[in-house]
Structure 1
Amino acid sequence: MLITSLLPLLSRYSLGFDLVAGPDDTVTLTVIPRKAAGAKQAPEASEVRPISITAAAGEIDAELAKGEEGALGQLIVARKSLSDQLAEQRAAAEAAKTAAASKAKPAAAPAKAATPAPAAQPAPAAAPTPVPAKPGEPASLW
């Protein structure tokens, strides 16, 4: 049941396992997702966070026997869904980046080729000199 429960993760990641015996006949099973061999994109830190279960060996077996209905199965399905969403967002961001770059190239090329010569600007008029303030009144900027 363990491998069947982990198939959704195996389709996207390489998995490592750690099995540790604890006190009172408990066992800790840790599943460690890693970047799959040949994967183009490195997974996000949240995608490769280890999944750890600590319980009696029989309880872990019973939970794994539930498949997708068990806690591990539901967690794996949720992670796969989030991973799919991340992949879609990456693809959309890459497409938007490519579209923006392709729009910027044609607009930038004609601007360089057809730069108009600056027109002669008339000299600005001299600014009026401020009127001195009368005694007892504040100075005016107008």
Structure 2
Amino acid sequence: MLIATLLPLLSRYSLGFDLVTGPDDTVTLTVIPRKPEGTTHKLEAGETRPISITATAQEIDAELARGANGALGQLIASRRNLADQLAEQRQAAEDARKAAADAAKAKPAPAAPKTTPASNAAKVAVPASPPADAKPEEPASLW
């Protein structure tokens, strides 16, 4: 029953298991999703978060017997939907990156518009020669 319940996760991840006994005949089952061999993408933190169930052995068996309708089955289905969404977003981001790179290669870089500093600044009349009444030993008057 355990393996049948975990098959949706096994299609995307390598799984590790940890079983620990506790007080009062309780058992903690921890399922640890890992990156499968041969994959290139990095797993997100939410994808690799361990799933833990603590209950008696009979309660865990009963929960696993519920299959997809049980809490573990619903959690696995939610994680699978999350993984599908992440894969779609990764693919969309990769497609957008490729499209932008192709567009940049196809379009030549626009030439920078030529602007002259004099055309943007206000023109000030500067006399070419000093006034006729200017004396070399005195500064020119503004009035």
In structure 2, the CA distance between the partners of 1:77 and 1:117, relative to structure 1 (3 Å rule), is closer
Q: Which has the larger radius of gyration?
A: 2
Paired residue secondary structure (1:54): strand
Aligned pairs for 1:1-142 within 5 A: 1-108=1-108, 111=110, 115=111, 118=114, 124=121, 125-126=123-124
Give RMSD over aligned pairs. 2.1
Structure 1, unaligned stretches of length 5 or more? 128-142
Structure 2, unaligned stretches of length 5 or more? 126-143
Q: Distance in 2 between matches of 1:78 and 1:22?
A: 28
1:104 is displaced (CA, Å) by 1.3
The alignment of Structure 1 onto Structure 2 pairs a total of residues equal to 123
Output the TM-score relative to the length of structure 1: 0.79
1:105 is displaced (CA, Å) by 1.6
Output the TM-score relative to the length of structure 2: 0.79
In structure 2, the CA distance between the partners of 1:117 and 1:67, relative to structure 1 (3 Å rule), is closer
Percent identity of equivalent pairs = 64
1:120 is displaced (CA, Å) by 6.6
Deviating beyond 6 angstroms after TM superposition, the runs of 4 or more aligned structure 1 residues are none
Deviations 1:66-124 (A, max 9, x none): 11111101100110011000000110011011111111122235x4xxx5895777564
